[in-house]
Amino acid sequence: GALVYQYPRRTICKSGTSMRMECQAVGFQATSVAWYRQSPQKTFELIALSTVNSAIKYEQNFTQEKFPISHPNLSFSSMTVLNAYLEDRGLYLCGAREGTYAEQFFGPGTRLTVL
């Protein structure tokens, strides 16, 4: 079956520091990976969409300078939150899919707490 792993599951960082999170797809080829942030109020925000062999597309209010993403192969993606502040708190989820017309599979998320 298709599975997506994310690590770490939880992380705490000091304000102004950075942290990296990883996403691994198993059982299928992650041709597209979408990174989301879910706020404490449970609202989802799409951060960026990464498709193999295409440029990574960031949504409004999110930039590569703040959330650099790597998607080097069909099973792995990583995202870093640079200079994290309180407003960056939340559950970061990666959703991966194989092909354009296919369901997304999500990892369990990385919960970021910023002190």
Partner 1 sequence: GDQVEQSPSALSLHEGTGSALRCNFTTTMRAVQWFQQNSRGSLINLFYLASGTKENGRLKSTFNSKESYSTLHIRDAQLEDSGTYFCAAEAWASGGNYKPTFGKGTSLVVHP
- Binding positions for partner 1, rule: CB under 8 A: 32, 34, 36, 38, 42-44, 46, 49, 51, 54, 57, 91, 93, 95, 100-106, 108-109, 111
* Closer residue to partner 1, CB minimum distance, 51 or 78: 51
* Closer residue to partner 1, CB minimum distance, 4 or 19: 4
What is the rounded distance in angstroms from the CA atom of residue 91 to the CA atom of residue 100?
25
Return the ∠ at Cα 57 (arms to 54 and 63), rounded to 5°.
Answer: 135
Q: How far is the CB of 57 from partner 1 (least distance, A)?
A: 7
Q: Which residues pair with 76 in a beta bridge?
A: 24, 73
Which amino acid makes up residue 84? A
Instruction: Answer whether the bond into residue 68 is a cis peptide, omega within 30°.
Output: no
Closest CA to 93 of 41, 21, 13: 21
Q: How far is the CB of 100 from partner 1 (least distance, A)?
A: 4
Q: How far is the CB of 111 from partner 1 (least distance, A)?
A: 7
Dihedrals phi, psi of 43, to nearest 5 degrees:
-75, 135
* Closer residue to partner 1, CB minimum distance, 86 or 101: 101
* Closer residue to partner 1, CB minimum distance, 30 or 34: 34
